[in-house]
Amino acid sequence: MAWTKVGRIFEPPGGVPFVRTHAALPVVDPRGAFYRVYFSGRDDQGRARVAFFDIDLDDPKARLPVSLRPALDLGPLGAFDDSGVTTSCLVNWEGRKYLYYTGWSLGITVPFYLFAGLAVSDDDGATFRRLSPAPILPRSPQDPFLTASPWVLVENGVWRMWYVSGSEWRMESGAPRHYYDIRHAESRDGISWRPTGHVCVTYRTAEEHAFSRPCVIREGGIYRMWYAFRGADYRLGYAESRDGLSWRREDGLTALEPSPGAWDSAMLCYPCVFLHRGLRVMLYNGNDYGRTGIGLATETPSGRAPAS
């Protein structure tokens, strides 16, 4: 699966109050001749909100204006998302847009808490409203620490979710370190979810301790998942499955590496893969969790052709 880097296509504008820094976790919404890209920008206090810009892949480096107000703002004081909301997945269903996101709140014994949330849009994605002030995946015996970064597909009336779940916190070098893997949940309506407890992708070395938002597409009889995994820094990973539950990691097939001296020299993270004119296209972040912006890579003709 060969990829060619097109380059960085978007940098945080800085002049927008709620997007002073970062353009993390790109999510793509196809819009005919162009794509809308939702992302998470941060304000002067480091709090994330959801913004968007539109892109024409025939001219991907053209200047891109950013939405002048958040598509999704912070939650109310004391809520699970009062300290940040970060993009994860967008589903178009029966005329409504479902934005699955991660809500952030600050902790004391650990630095933060994360829980998966849901907001919907009835104005074509300009703004989103929460269906509930509570998370859609709260603490449970299957997820006792945190839930985050949901990716959702709808298949034959069943909504399937792959998401990040905390397996533990450990004290290392005098500070708490998070450990989380990728798990699975199901729903009949996209709103009420049942965690299956099934671990889909997990650590395979002692250095690994976290996975980023998974991006899942189904091509024929194969589920393909892109994600980032980390020890010291994030790198892109890839896995395949026949049933969406049992996955085989094939990280080497991602074949996209940091570029020395560039905006993505130290880190590659938060991939979002979609089909454009019959080839896979990837948006991703570089150094410092999206501080340096969003890049574009395209599948080369020598790469594996997607199934129709």
Longest dimension (CA), the chain: 52
Annotated domain spans of the chain:
3-299
Smallest CA-to-CA distance from 264 within 283, 249, 239, 251 is with 283
Indicate the class that CATH gives domain 3-299: mainly beta
Q: What is the pLDDT of residue 301?
A: 67
E strand or H helix at 255, and its extent? none
The span from the CA of 40 to the CA of 52, in Å, is 8
CA distance 75 to 98: 17
Please give the model's pTM, rounded to 2 decimal places: 0.95
pLDDT tens for each residue of the chain, 308 residues long: 689 999 999 999 888 999 999 999 999 999 988 999 999 999 999 999 999 999 999 888 887 789 999 999 999 999 999 999 999 999 999 999 999 999 999 999 999 999 999 999 999 999 999 999 999 999 999 999 999 999 999 999 999 999 999 999 999 999 999 999 999 999 999 999 999 999 999 999 999 999 999 999 999 899 999 999 998 889 999 999 999 999 999 998 887 899 999 999 999 999 999 999 888 999 999 999 999 999 999 988 654 443 33
At residue 179, what is the residue type?
Y
